[in-house]
Amino acid sequence: MGSSIARVGVVGAGQMGAGIAHVCALAGFEVIVNDVSEARIAAGLSTIGGNLGRQMASGRITDADRKAALARISGSNDFAAFGNVDLVIETVTESEPVKRDIYARLCPMLRPETILATNSSSLSITRLAAATDRPDRFIGLHFMNPVPVMDLVEIIRGIATGDATFETAKRFVTKLGKTFTVAEDFPAFIVNRILMPMLNEAIYTLYEGVGTVEAIDTAMRLGAHHPMGPLQLADFIGLDTCLSVMQVLYEGLADSKYRPCPLLVKYVDAGWLGRKAGRGFYDYRGEVPVPTR
């Protein structure tokens, strides 16, 4: 049974968890979404409903698809609900102690053959796996944000991840209609290893006064054909997330080129975390985002 996935558990009903539950349900999997409170679960389910509605309005899915997907999703704030799932995807905050604490409470509720995956964007899969009772059935499945729109999933094996787990993960991602790339278990994998230092460099460019927020974003949009400027993208991702990934790179690879920009640290200290906080490199509290520098 371990090789085929029918039922999926998602830990965390935030932006990533809701997106993953959405694509799993649309692909025909039964999904149980878990979070600490009924209110968080309800908010996640409401996000999924809204996003499915938008996909229907744009003609990407039918109303029947939308209804069927919603019918496949349920919520629970108790890990005991995961007793019958084949795969659990953990999507909680990018903090190793938080993830370890969840695994300690989650693993005893799972069947021995259930695969446990983390959506971590930067932490060591090997180290997280070692905190569970199933390192051979532990794997990294790093989805991109926003999940329903982005085509890529990075698959990362820990040192102990078994071949059967790896093959099952590849089939699962393909069934979701996503493309996978396989990354080795080094800090931040492929996408963030390349993307985050670029965003950090854009922040250094601002910090050193080489260009204004607007000049930097316009330059990269029109000069490098990026769909979004780097400072706008950093705000979209969350400056706290950018900082935590840069810290993982800096500590994990001990190379000064990964040093987080002091201006990034300052914005995070101020609580200006980007779009979700109403302010970051842009102020989002008015009709139109306005640069804050």
Residue 182: predicted pLDDT: 98
Query: For residue 15, what are its two tokens?
Result: 């932006």
Cβ atoms < 10 Å from Cβ of 249: 24
Average pLDDT over residues 12-39: 97
pLDDT value for 276: 95
When pLDDT is averaged across residues 112-139 and rounded to a whole number, the result is: 97
Backbone angles phi, psi at 226, to 5 degrees: -80, 140
Cα(221)–Cα(211) distance, integer angstroms:
14
pLDDT of 2: 44
| Per-residue model confidence (pLDDT) at position 3 | 62
Is 142 catalytic? The answer is yes
Measured CA to CA, the distance from residue 250 to residue 259 in angstroms comes to 6
Residue from 34, 119, 124, 192 carrying the catalytic annotation: 192
Residue 192 is a catalytic residue: yes
Mean pLDDT, range 21-43, rounded to an integer: 98
Q: What is the rounded CA–CA span in Å between residue 139 and residue 89? A: 9
Which region, left, alpha or beta, applies to residue 173 given φ > 0 means left and ψ of -120 to 50 means alpha?
A: alpha
- What is the average per-residue pLDDT within 75-87? 97
Alpha-carbon span 176 to 24, nearest angstrom: 6
> How many other CB atoms are found less than 10 A from the CB of residue 3?
12
Name the more confident of 214 and 145. 214
Which CATH code for domain 195-282? Answer: 1.10.1040.10
Which superfamily is assigned to 7-183 in CATH?
NAD(P)-binding Rossmann-like Domain (3.40.50.720)
Q: Is 145 a catalytic residue?
A: no
- For residue 251, give both structure tokens: 């500590």
Q: Are strands 152-157 and 138-143 parallel, antiparallel or unpaired?
A: antiparallel
Give me the DSSP letters along 51-86: HHHHHHHTTSS-HHHHHHHHHTEEEESSGGGGGG-S
Report pLDDT for 151. Answer: 98
Q: Is the dihedral of CA 55, 58, 62, 67 positive or negative?
A: positive
> Which of the residues 120, 154, 200, 244 is marked catalytic?
154
What's the whole-number average pLDDT of the chain? 97
Q: Is it the case that residue 1 has pLDDT exceeding 90?
A: no
- 3 annotated active-site: no
**Residues forming CATH 3.40.50.720 domain(s) in the chain:** 7-183
User: Looking at residue 258, what is its pLDDT?
Assistant: 98
Q: Which residues contact 29 (CB under 8 A, 6 or more apart)?
A: 5, 6, 7, 8, 72
Instruction: Return the axis-axis angle of helices 230-237 and 239-253, rounded to nearest 10°.
Output: 100
Residue 230 has pLDDT above 60, yes or no: yes
Q: From the candidates 30, 34, 124, 142, give the one annotated as an active-site residue.
A: 142
| Predicted confidence (pLDDT) at residue 218 exceeds the cutoff of 70 | yes
pLDDT digits (tens, 9 = 90+) for 84-103: 999 999 999 989 999 999 99
Give the residue carrying structure tokens 């899915």: 61
pLDDT digits (tens, 9 = 90+) for 242-263: 999 999 999 999 999 999 999 9
What pLDDT shows up at residue 111? 98
The single residue of 121, 122, 200, 244 carrying the catalytic annotation is 121
Per residue in 158-185, pLDDT (tens digit) is: 999 999 999 999 999 999 999 999 999 9
If residue 154 lies in a helix (H) or strand (E), which one and from where to where? strand 152-157
C-alpha distances in Å from residue 106, one per residue of 1, 119, 126, 155, 165: 20, 16, 18, 22, 19
CATH 1.10.1040.10 placement within the chain: 195-282
- Using a pLDDT cut of 90, give the percent of the chain over it: 98
